[in-house]
Structure 1
Amino acid sequence: MYEGAVQELIDELGRLPGVGPKSAQRIAFHILEADGEDMKRLVNSIVTVKERVKFCTICGNVAEQETCGICRDPRRDPTAICVVEESKDVIAVERTRSFRGKYHVLGGSINPIAGIGPDQLRIRELLSRLSDDEVQEIIIATDPNLEGEATATYLVRMLKTIGIKVTRLASGLPVGGDLEYADEITLGRAFEGRRTVS
């Protein structure tokens, strides 16, 4: 335990996701030893992002305006919506350059242990986007973990009644992976998603 401000900084840094006690301590001491101007820029960046950035009123992605750049882009296909858990997932899909539709950010996934149910996610907003008959396909791109699967299952059951085509991202073996190290679920999904080779 350190005195006063140093320990407070370590404690606050330790509350960040993915930052454990050792990492928090390393970051705190880096901040102490860093140039004052560099740290002022860091502080200003944090303050600016908290003041300027909000969530898109249409899809829930991060935006500095009322709507995000993707929702404002007339070249995007309005008939397909890719449903993701977080804004960072939008960036991951965009990097593939394989999807030209629009997005819907749920703001998390169903996790009963953490007290997060469907009502805490942006599912009502998704349903309201489907009322204009323009959307023809919903692509569910939640994480392939327990919470993501629960969310996907919930969405599939709910969206089936609407009559819109619902698809789920394929999952399987990673490029460069070895079969012997694949878990049963991943290997099973790879078999289910197999394609004909021409």
Structure 2
Amino acid sequence: MAAVTAGCAVAMLATGPSWALRRPEPRPAVDVVAPGAPGAPGAPGAPEASTLPALAAKPSDSDLEVVQLDPDPAPPGGTTTIHAFVDNLGPDTTASPFTVVVTLPEGVTPHGPYFPKDCEVFQNGHRVRCVFGAGLRSGRSATALVPVDVSSDLAPGTYQGWVAVRSADDRNADNDRAPFDLKVVEPVQDS
């Protein structure tokens, strides 16, 4: 851990990779007190409200890129796993969390467990959102794993989905989205 002094406050910075397995936990910058409650600004005997600006982490100079990876083929009614692969092209380590969103083709539904384990399904099962914390170093990658079920009604063929990444640090939006092709294949017949 390294200590950084800013005015009267001291912040502790983690020197290890905090992004690998956990979602950042939002914490309020100040205590929230109901108006009129003891200790609330303006209440008798309460300290005056601070006029200092809130400090926020400065975004890094990072370029997050989605790398196209196609999942293994699956038969109708089968399963496969989407690998949402994100690379930090740098030059800096990410200073902010980043979010990976997987958009699934029609007829394909997600099922857990996911990696990271706290990924969330939204848009009626059409998308999965995974949040990684700050600290992805330049030249390193992160992968969200989304297991999926292929509908038994899907005909053999190729179905396209998308992987996207969003971050306050990302300076190049041109490589933040990439497709993947999910191949639905004929089931193997036992002879």
| TM-score, scaled relative to structure 2 | 0.23
Which structure has more relative contact order (CA 8 Å, sep 6+)? It is 2
- In the superposition, the TM-score normalised over structure 1's length comes to 0.22
